[in-house]
Amino acid sequence: MKQLLLDLSLENIPTLENFVPGRNVELLHVLNEFLTTSSAGNFIYCWGGSGSGKSHLLKSIREACIRLKHYHVAYFTCDQNTEFERNDNLPDCIIVDDVDRLGPEAQIKLFNLYNQARDECLVLFLVSGKSAPAQLQLRQDVITRLSWGLVYQIHELTDEEKGQAMKHYAVNSGFELPEEVCDYLLRYEKRDMPYLIKVIDALGRYSLMLQRPITLPLLRQFLHEVL
């Protein structure tokens, strides 16, 4: 049981393959096109609420840039004082997650980095935030920079899409996930996909350990004993 708990706390490696697109097919197509062509000057801002998959998508692009293109990638998870130091040698890609968290000084540094990236034709500048550029509580010049290129909203998956994603993950992991189990998780547990996938992964191991098929009673027992 303890090992199951430890495993549940681990983060699955985000990839484009395990990102469920839902209504975000166009954005996924643009990012895959970038990985295929790698033309310079790609500025992309994507936004969405908590649980929409922003961080998963950005981390997926980071991994793909490193694994497929062997690019040097700078990845920033923002807080009030994130450091964006200008450097004579920019990385190939700059990825900035949760830009809306930046404080005033950090925003100025990001503004300067944007300008340098444009002047030097950086391959990719990918940024995420919680809302569309015009609705961000940031400096106006930073908002202007975020609007330089393509802007996409990341739509959260519907319950039906989340159910399909959970079932697909279970099948790929070697077991079936009944509809009632999906419905129960969506009704009573946290609804963001990374958490749900971790629960399903641990539930599959729990089922194997007890040599019992996955059913709603087994799920309830698992949630009581393990979570």
Number of domains in the chain: 2
Selection from 110, 100, 156, 101 nearest residue 132 by Cα: 100
Q: Supply the range of the domain harboring residue 94.
A: 25-153
**pLDDT value of residue 12:** 63
| C-beta atoms surrounding 52 within 10 Å | 22
**pLDDT value of residue 127:** 98
Inside any domain, residue 20:
no
Asked if residue 14 lies in contact with residue 59, where contact means CB atoms within 8 angstroms, the answer is: yes
Q: 54-109, pLDDT tens digit by residue? A: 998 999 999 999 998 999 999 999 999 999 977 778 999 999 999 999 999 999 99
Pair 146, 166 in one domain: no
Instruction: Give the tokens for residue 155.
Output: 């739509």
**pLDDT value of residue 4:** 54
Pair 111, 188 in one domain: no
The domain boundary residue, chosen from 153, 168, 197: 153
Q: Give strand ranges (E) for 158-216.
A: none
**pLDDT value of residue 136:** 97
Selection from 97, 172, 163 nearest residue 130 by Cα: 97
CATH of the domain at 136: 3.40.50.300
**pLDDT value of residue 177:** 96
Pair 100, 200 in one domain: no
**pLDDT value of residue 1:** 55
Instruction: Give the tokens for residue 167.
Output: 């079932």
Identify which has the larger pLDDT, 115 or 4: 115
Full strand arrangement of the beta sheet holding 42-47 = 73-77, 93-97, 124-129, 42-47, 150-153
Pair 142, 48 in one domain: yes
Selection from 79, 113, 80, 73 nearest residue 95 by Cα: 73
Instruction: Give the tokens for residue 201.
Output: 């992964």
Pair 113, 175 in one domain: no
CA atoms of 18 and 121, how far apart (whole Å): 30
Pair 136, 197 in one domain: no
Helix (H, G, I), strand (E, B) or coil at 77: strand
Q: 5-50, pLDDT tens digit by residue? A: 445 555 567 888 878 888 999 999 999 888 888 677 899 999 998 8
Asked if residue 22 lies in contact with residue 220, where contact means CB atoms within 8 angstroms, the answer is: no
Pair 85, 177 in one domain: no
Pair 137, 165 in one domain: no
| pTM (whole model) above 0.95 | no
